[in-house]
Amino acid sequence: MVATVLLLGLLSVVAATDILRHKIYNWTTYPGILAAWGLNGLGTLLGWAALVDWETLEALGWIGLADSLLGFAACGFVLLVCFVLFQVKGGDVKLLAMMGAVLGTDRGITAMLWTFVLGGCAGLIALVWRLGPAMLLRLAMRQLGWFARLAKPGPLTPEERTQFQSPLYLAPCALAAAVIVEFSLVERLL
């Protein structure tokens, strides 16, 4: 419960700054990571000292310090690879590492995958909206023709290249993904 409120609050702030300024600030991600580790570390200490029973800790959103660290490392590593290979921004790396620290390994990776799916869908919708389906179909057919002749995609004009390089707002997608995971929305629909 506490972890859910913390995560959704931080993700709401990050989503707003991402939409308004296209930036994910360290002043939201770093405290979120430290708070996740602090809450889970405190819960671990209280559980080991038998001051609080494990069921109460789990009801408060405690996942354990080890799972928090593993979630941070797993989500952070995947996005670090994307940062190196695919020009993902550093704020996105820290954002999803924070989600992993709060949610743990399993739910963190699930939320990260939902973030990618929602981000891809949002990017495709924005592309279709901006270019139109006819233009996208024409460009796709041209690329298929190049690929059929040369076994590699053809070059894009500078104008076409800039049209495909629109900003992707990953933080609102991460917020939606956290809601899906935290409230088990997919499991409830099935």
Which residues does the chain have with pLDDT short of 50? none
Residue 159: both structure tokens together: 């104008």
pLDDT score recorded for residue 166? 72
Global pTM? 0.86
Contact 93, 76 (CB under 8 A): yes
pLDDT tens per residue, range 128-140? 888 889 988 888 8
From the list 65, 57, 56, the residue with the least C-alpha distance to 34 is 65
pLDDT tens per residue, range 84-123? 998 889 999 999 999 999 999 999 999 999 999 999 999 8
* Cα-based distances in Å from 57 to 1, 62, 104, 108, 156: 10, 5, 15, 19, 55
pLDDT score recorded for residue 36? 94
Contact 3, 181 (CB under 8 A): no
The C-alpha atoms of residue 79 and residue 74 are separated, in whole angstroms, by 9
Neighbours of 12 (CB within 10 A): 15
Q: Does residue 35 sit in helix, strand or coil? A: helix
